[in-house]
A and B are shown apart, each in its own frame.
Chain A
Amino acid sequence: MNNLLQQLVVYYTHKMTKLDKKIKFYELNASKDNKEVIEKHQKKIAVLKSKVAELNKKLSIQTTDRIDGLNKKLETEKDETVKKHLIKTIDILSAKTQLSNEEQHLISLSHLTMKFGGLKAVDDLSFTVNKGEIFGLIGPNGAGKTTVFNCITQFYKATEGSVYYTDTHGDVHDLNDFKVHNIIDLGIARTFQNVELVWELSVLDNLLVGAHSLYTAGFFSQLFHLPKLRKEEALLKQKATDILESLGLTAYKHVIPYGLPYGILKKIELARVLMTNPKLIILDEPAAGLNDSETKELAKTILDIKQKYALTIILVEHDMELVMDICDRICAMSFGQKLAVGTPKEIQSNKQVQTAYLGGE
């Protein structure tokens, strides 16, 4: 899979996201000269887009060839386990071409498997999340929910299977081709189960760390604090202030987060995620450690930000009330395997899910 064409696509995608960022910066401080620059960048993007399209065409021809080859192998193969494996591979490969035609698709797992030594933390998991959905991932402790998140954000490289993601330009990428720190450029941002902030920086600076991927100023403009950096810094500070205000955190703006109440820390992390201009945010137990009223407030906040920033949200949560309240669809997992996917009502009435949670009868 990891051939030269694939790497080229990834490279061009990076270039495009960089140009996108530049355009956004110039759009924000609009003046006459900037229009030309923006047009220039847009032309560049168009060129890159056509290149990517061409490469994708070549790649899809390759994959169809590979699928054909595998199909032939499948016909002659007799061993059941090998046969199963072949079918899976074919499925993974063909998923990509299918998905590039689906407009609503945002992210999907295709036969994702993650092994740690002999332990299968995630076993052959597949689901699809559409644009604008709030998708819940539930399951008992140790079901592998966080591992799924880590596989999506590439903290772990999946042992098998793919994570397909449709970027803003409409191209479908296998996230396994990207590095951890490049995932954010595609518009995927995450929070952590235990709040992971920078304890030596103020809340505002923490948000600016979140905006790190949006900076276009190079090392030298940072070294000499050239006007470009100052302008960017001012713009992003304004953005951070706005976000803090909308989440009701203005009072903590210049405070070091260390020692603040847990609910506030969770909100700061949410604010940091919003700084990154995300398309998809992944929340790992957003309500853990919160009391009832805080949880209710959180539910409202999540719905609000989803509306305001046109987000898609995937969340892991143990608080069933919250999950059933705000999620459009839910995937229930147990021991790394998928139990069921459906609307909250369907999940509630699902027998398998009930046994997994309440124990067998």
Chain B
Amino acid sequence: MDKIKHFIQLKLKNPLYQFLLFGVLLLLLPILSPFMSVTTTDALAKTLIYFIVALGFSLLIGYGGLASLGTSSFIAIGTFVAYAGINEFELPFLLTILLGVFIALIFGLIFGIVSLRIEGMYLAIVTLGLSEIMIELFKNFDRFTGGVSGTTSRAIEMFGLRLTSNETLIIVVVFVVLAMVLTYNLINSPFGRALLSIKNNDSAAQAMGISVIKYRLIAFIVSTVYAVLGGILYMSYVKFSMGSTWGLAISLNILAAVVVGGSKSIWGVLLGTFMIFGMDLILFKNIDFLSDSKFANLSFVISGLLIILVTMFYPNGLAGLINELKYKIKRLRLKHQAGKDHE
């Protein structure tokens, strides 16, 4: 028994197994959903979908040091690709995903080439402009976007079956785990290190043979792919998307989620996404005391405060804070131990 326990403990040190375990736990959601309110399930699903987008964005800002404000328009592209794939072309779902990845590659490349020659605040402004252009395009070219009134999608089909929202949730969970694993892989490979070294010190990076523009572009494209995938999953779960809702607010929320959670930690990003997107609907609405209409906007106040506090005191986000606490507890324990030994 002890051996098994030890074995499991050992395996759980490996982040990949942690992600798998997390996925397995999430798979309980569809089972538990009959016992939860529809709002809660919906909020959880949306949180998970935004988590995928935020993961891609954390690669961009945490590792590449690039702040883009175009994320929401990429999610929008994803939703409309999903609409077109599922309803207009009647493609199988996996083919829709592939189509989405392909379109994400193209848009990421175009946006990246236009905007990546500049850095910092100016990059944010340029991507913001580009995404505003995209929203206007969504409104006016209504073949796939439904124009101003938005589009409604059918449920997705897989293996000849029409999936219920609970079953779609399983697909979302699969993609969440996949996104976590792939992000972890990228971070811990030459690619992740190259991005970090560009962010820290681009002349040293260049001297070590790292092409700045190439790696920035790849990071941008990867984050675009994540966002478009998030969009496709959003459309398959929520089944409704309207061009004008994908504005600056969503992009800023994702930026906030990543910054609050800790842009260099996968679990931190999850925590941040939950704080920004899920806390209100999942937590507060289920607590009687807080569900009163007096506190309707409490979550905005809290997330606003969090953003201020975290950016001021914990540049590594909540993940950094938790790490620090862990370290302190460990030290206290060691001190305690040493004191005992001394006696």
Contacts and interface: CB of A to CB of B under 8 A. Distances in A.
Interface of A: 153, 155, 179-185, 189-190, 192, 196-201, 205, 208-210, 212-213, 215, 217, 219, 222-225, 229, 233, 272, 276
6 contacts: A184-B207, A189-B207, A198-B204, A200-B200, A205-B193, A212-B208
A212 B209 contact: yes
Contact of A155 (B199, B206, B210): B206
A215 B190 contact: yes
Q: Sort A-B residue pairs by CB-CB distance and give the 3 closest, nearest first.
A: A213-B209, A184-B209, A222-B189
B190 A223 contact: no
Contacts of A192: 203-204, 207
Interface string B233-271: 000000000000000000000000000000010000000
A197 B201 contact: yes
B44 interface: no
A208 B190 contact: yes
B197 interface: yes
Contacts of A215: 190
Nearest to A210: B208
Interface residues of B, number: 26
A196 B185 contact: no
B342 to A, nearest CB: 27
Contacts of B199: 200
A270 to B, nearest CB: 13
Nearest to B191: A222
Contacts of A180: 206-207
Contacts of B212: 181
B18 interface: no
B199 to A, nearest CB: 8
Nearest to B199: A200
Contact of B190 (A153, A198, A222): A222
B63 to A, nearest CB: 9
Contacts of B118: none
A223 B187 CA distance: 9
Nearest to B16: A225
A185 B210 CA distance: 11
Contacts of B209: 181-185, 212-213, 276
A240 to B, nearest CB: 12
B216 to A, nearest CB: 13
A183 B182 CA distance: 31
Contact of A198 (B189, B191, B200): B200
